[in-house]
Amino acid sequence: MSPATPSVLRLEKSGGVATLTFDRPEQRNAMGFGSDPADFLARAAELNADETISCVIITGAGKSFSAGGDIKQLREWAHEAKMHPKELLALYEDGIHHLVQALWSLEMPVVAAINGAAIGLGNDLACLADIRIAAASAKFGATFLKIGLVPGDGGAWLLPRVIGWDRAAELYFTGKIIDAQTALDYRLVTHVVDDADLMASAQALAETICQQPPQVLRLTKKLMRAGIQQSFGDVMSLSAAYQVMAHLTDDHREALDAMHDKRPPLFTGR
């Protein structure tokens, strides 16, 4: 894909919820190269800077969440005699990895509304969400070996943490596609809903999340992330530091006052 390719992302905001749609339906939302990483980085920076946003929904336009990488582009590279290993390395380290890191960097909770096929990179993008809701027709696969590649986008770190080593190994080593109910059994998704109810269910969940104090909500996600990467002692120290920060917010005082007064709280993010 050339840098002139239209953005793969469509961003819509409504109240505290931002919906980020993978918007390349004619290619089943295949992505990863060209201008895609820069588009993801720009949108992530915009969302993180917007203190009014408390939850992001990611979904796909059309009938697929994301079919993964651009197979046509990969085939061209496979037959391109001049592609040097350093060039290929840069395509990942300076390209597709930035796309994945952009979604990982989102400070607010992310809900994936998986509306169809989530394959390869698409499956790994779903794993970047904090909560995943699947339409009944959704399909999942970690099919990198079927095209002679490893999971080069960080999925080997993500998928085992979501569904466990043995389930991740089964998906990687067999390349099989699983349906939404199997994904639920594997704990790859949290809920399966009728196709027609997918976006309404994701929106309802996002709006519930938005009822929490915004600043402390982001701190909680940051603390959870630390919990899967750092030692128990380090996380205990970080927990204490973040709790001090939370104690000093106006929203903490508002939550206690609202509870005392038996009324809904009015959070301001301060």
pLDDT in tens, 192-232: 999 999 999 999 999 999 999 999 999 999 999 999 999 99
* CA 210/CA 1 separation, integer angstroms: 37
pTM of structure: 0.92
Q: Give the domain ranges of the chain.
A: 9-209, 214-261
> What is the chain's length?
270
CB 181 within 8 A of CB 123: no
Q: Is the pLDDT of residue 41 over 80?
A: yes
The CATH superfamily of 9-209 is 2-enoyl-CoA Hydratase; Chain A, domain 1 (3.90.226.10)
Lowest mean pLDDT among 114-128, 181-195, 199-213, 256-270: 256-270
Helix, strand, coil proportions of the chain in percent (round to 5)?
A: 50, 15, 35
Q: Is the pLDDT of residue 146 over 50?
A: yes
